[in-house]
A and B are shown apart, each in its own frame.
Chain A
């Protein structure tokens, strides 16, 4: 009996140490939260410009500043606890902006509602995903994230919108970083503005085997800090 007791104690101590060290995830699993990423939440910052697609931008740039991440228990809920971040976007072109919007078309965030881990590996559900990897030049993580939220615009037909911004930090000097933004009508859930996935400083699509553009800004992932309690999710609540 004594040997069994010591064995039990040893198992308790080793298991607890493994959980504390992060070697294994906690055993408590809530099926309702299955869309939560197992990756620890982190931060994303960046800015730059792209040339919106459709071949009609005439060199007119769309400038952006973006930030995202968790802070103090961020979760989509219930109840929702806001995420950290910001989005500002100004499109000086006319190729994809709503016809009712003035030029430049303005988008300014009002809330950050989700921060999404996007798996660059085989598993697209965010679980057991390869990575994150690190940029040897900065020691910072690299990868793809989405920042989702609510914004106001200067388009009278779309004064309030949902945004979904997918950005990637693919290392320095940022020529392989990309930006992709959807704006949708919160009433109809229909996407009415789509930049397509575009390498920074260009109109070059980031798909089709493209490896980068000339560069026009930088996206930077940052490792978690003690305030990043909360959860990254595996998909954006907005289209």
Chain B
């Protein structure tokens, strides 16, 4: 097995452990299990980073282009944001209940789609904009994943009391946290779209073509734009927005990785391709 793959699967295993600990912790209401879950996530993050790094070093090509690579990097940012948040004074132990299972499943999916690294970057991708684009997309995803995590905690705390639920911040505070992460994710998706527009303009001379990948990213952005308006202009709060954040996350996973990449790109037409 190539070394990057070995590290990759170690990371998947540790994320799986972390996911289990979080879920069991919630069911058994055991604080200890959450700590184990957090450390497993931290421990998994190391081989995850190494896997990305070695792949990059081996080929000299930034590993962001195939679906598998894109998923791997999206999960990387999500876990990073999760770990950073958990290392602040505000640590909210059960946050990983949503974040880590999603990270685990997406990583597993990335592993299933794994392909050996390309030896050449396609010319259209040889642009500095792609960096801004990918950072925007992956942090945006990490942020809305966390937002959905807070949404879930909101719904759980509303139904349950005592034990670990006592230690959670009160409902309006969870609600605000979820909103903040949505707003941050919305900005990062905005960055993704703006840099994508500049990139398209550099390569094709058009900043917007309504092509499927563009429309999919607009969809994710609009979904959270609507969230913000429901909150600010319609004064929605609490349960409804918590559900919204959870459902929007699914839409996000589909629009980010599911469908855009299965859309065949045409337009090659006349070009000599050898």
A and B bind:
no
List residues of B whose CB falls within 8 A of some A CB: none
List residues of A whose CB falls within 8 A of some B CB: none
